[in-house]
């Protein structure tokens, strides 16, 4: 299916997705082809802690007539929790971002060693080698450990791997290698980008806690929150838009696509942005 000319009002912006350069299953070329097939007009590839897939994605985007925005999803910590901050429309050549991806790459490697050590103490041997095999050319992450746990027969599926070993508060949940949320926000601003608080509902915080996080995110220089992250329960986008409005933040939207077949995280498949707040693309 080709890209048809659609009026700007119906542009589909998908500003959050992953390729094989982090924990996605499609190469940048395959990802862009799928985005075109799903009618996406503007895409930001937001791999975890790396820009490595951008050049290839951009080349394919040009061939397909799609517009690309630069992006990244930075792993951070805040109040003892893992928090993701998406950076959009960043200057990839900026000295600060070049340094940040190197820092994050090192942090990810150190974290992988720490996760493997903890899994070993929990009775799971050779996890580092196993996870690295699944990471391939991409940056190593918890989903790769999860696949190794499934492969080893320790758990039956990915969901159990996170529930028992890798999810928040479990033995393989190592966060202390990551920068503070406020630091990541500052770096993104220094790199000329727009910091976006990723998928607020995924942290499973109380509304009060989420408001504290949002307030500190704003104070640090944050500019938008993802009011839409894939297919969501009815009313969630409006709820998040109210929080965005309260703190003077714009709204962003994206699928958080990782792999075909996960129907709640499909490229371009989500509700339109609430009209009560400015859209993040009005900021660039
Ligand atoms: P990492 O970036 O290495 O900390 O891994 C976090 C990634 O793991 C997220 O971006 C998701 O893609 C994935 N993930 C988190 N929770 C789950 C879960 N319960 N089941 C499957 N994948 C998950
Ligand atoms: Mn991921
Ligand atoms: Mn995330
Ligand atoms: Mn993501």
The CATH number given to whatever domain includes residue 128 is 1.10.150.650
> What pLDDT was estimated at residue 63?
98
Residue 143 — very low, low, confident or very high, per pLDDT cuts 50/70/90? very high
Whether residue 245 sits in one domain with residue 160: no
Q: HSE on the CB side for 69, CA within 13 Å?
A: 29
Q: Ligand 2 center to residue 238 CA distance, Å?
A: 25
> What pLDDT was estimated at residue 1?
43
Q: Which residue has the tokens 């390729």?
A: 19
Whether residue 123 sits in one domain with residue 81: no
> What pLDDT was estimated at residue 137?
81
Answer whether residue 2 shows pLDDT above 90. no
On whether residue 152 sits in a domain, the answer given is: yes
Answer whether residue 5 shows pLDDT above 80. no
Q: Ligand 2 center to residue 261 CA distance, Å?
A: 15
Residue 18 to residues 27, 35, 71, 259: CA-CA distances in angstroms?
9, 12, 10, 8
Beta bridge mates, 72 = 87
Whether residue 141 sits in one domain with residue 266: no
Whether residue 161 sits in one domain with residue 197: no
Whether residue 144 sits in one domain with residue 219: no
Portion of the chain with pLDDT greater than 70, in percent: 97
258 Cβ below 6 A of ligand 1: yes
Number of the ligand 1 atom closest to the C-alpha atom of 49: 2
User: Which one of 126, 141, 166 terminates a domain?
Assistant: 166
Residue 118 — very low, low, confident or very high, per pLDDT cuts 50/70/90? very high
CATH of the domain at 40: 3.20.20.140
Name every residue whose Cβ is closer than 8 Å to that of residue 223 and which is 6 or more positions away in sequence: 194, 195, 196, 249, 250, 280, 283
For the chain, give the mean pLDDT: 95
Across residues 56-66, what is the average pLDDT? Answer: 98
> What pLDDT was estimated at residue 176?
87
Total residues belonging to the chain: 284
Range of the domain at 131: 102-166
Number of the ligand 1 atom closest to the C-alpha atom of 143: 8
104 Cβ below 6 A of ligand 1: no
> What pLDDT was estimated at residue 271?
96
Q: Ligand 2 center to residue 158 CA distance, Å?
A: 13
> What pLDDT was estimated at residue 139?
87
138 Cβ below 6 A of ligand 1: no
Total structural domains within the chain: 2
> What pLDDT was estimated at residue 188?
98
Answer whether residue 4 shows pLDDT above 60. no
Whether residue 158 sits in one domain with residue 268: no
Whether residue 187 sits in one domain with residue 83: yes
Task: Report pTM.
Answer: 0.95
The neighbourhood of ligand 3, an ion, using CB within 5 A, equals 84, 198
Instruction: Return the residue whose CA atom lies nearest to atom 17 of ligand 1.
Output: 162
Residue 8 — very low, low, confident or very high, per pLDDT cuts 50/70/90? very low
158 Cβ below 6 A of ligand 1: yes
Number of the ligand 1 atom closest to the C-alpha atom of 108: 3
> What pLDDT was estimated at residue 99?
98
Residue 206 — very low, low, confident or very high, per pLDDT cuts 50/70/90? very high
Whether residue 249 sits in one domain with residue 128: no
Across residues 69-83, what is the average pLDDT? Answer: 97
Instruction: Return the residue whose CA atom lies nearest to atom 6 of ligand 1.
Output: 142
On whether residue 193 sits in a domain, the answer given is: yes
141 Cβ below 6 A of ligand 1: yes
Q: Ligand 4 center to residue 183 CA distance, Å?
A: 19
User: Which one of 134, 166, 198 terminates a domain?
Assistant: 166
Residue 228 — very low, low, confident or very high, per pLDDT cuts 50/70/90? very high
> What pLDDT was estimated at residue 263?
94
Whether residue 79 sits in one domain with residue 31: yes
Whether residue 149 sits in one domain with residue 107: yes
Whether residue 162 sits in one domain with residue 34: no
Answer whether residue 7 shows pLDDT above 60. no
Answer whether residue 6 shows pLDDT above 90. no
> What pLDDT was estimated at residue 284?
94
Whether residue 256 sits in one domain with residue 218: yes
Q: Ligand 2 center to residue 46 CA distance, Å?
A: 10
| Cα 231 to the center of its chain, rounded Å | 15
Across residues 240-258, what is the average pLDDT? Answer: 98
């Amino acid at each position: 299916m080709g890209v048809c000319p659609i009026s700007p009002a119906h542009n589909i912006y998908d500003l959050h997705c992953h390729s094989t350069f982090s924990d996605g299953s499609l190469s940048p070329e395959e990802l862009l082809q799928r985005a075109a097939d799903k009618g996406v007009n503007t895409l930001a590839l937001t791999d975890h802690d790396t820009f490595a897939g951008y050049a290839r994605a951009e080349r394919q985007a040009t061939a397909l007539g799609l517009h690309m925005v630069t992006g990244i999803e930075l792993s951070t910590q805040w109040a003892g929790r893992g928090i993701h901050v998406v950076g959009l429309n960043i200057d990839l050549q900026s000295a600060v971002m070049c340094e940040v991806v190197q820092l994050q790459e090192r942090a990810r490697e150190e974290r992988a060693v720490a996760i493997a050590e903890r899994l070993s103490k929990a009775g799971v041997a050779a996890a580092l080698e196993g996870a690295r095999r699944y990471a391939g050319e991409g940056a190593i992450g918890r989903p790769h450990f999860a696949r190794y746990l499934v492969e080893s027969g320790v758990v039956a599926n990915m969901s159990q791997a996170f529930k028992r070993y890798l999810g928040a508060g479990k033995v393989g949940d190592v966060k202390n290698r990551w920068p503070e949320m406020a630091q990541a926000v500052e770096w993104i601003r220094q790199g000329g980008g727009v910091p976006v608080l990723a998928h607020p509902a995924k942290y499973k915080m109380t509304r009060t806690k989420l408001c504290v996080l949002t307030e500190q995110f704003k104070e640090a220089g944050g500019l938008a929150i993802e009011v839409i992250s894939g297919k969501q329960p009815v009313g969630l986008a409006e709820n998040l838009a109210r929080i965005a409005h309260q703190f003077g933040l714009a709204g962003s939207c994206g699928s958080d696509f990782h792999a075909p077949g996960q129907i709640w995280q499909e490229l371009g498949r989500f509700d339109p942005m609430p009209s009560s707040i400015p859209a993040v693309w009005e900021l660039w």
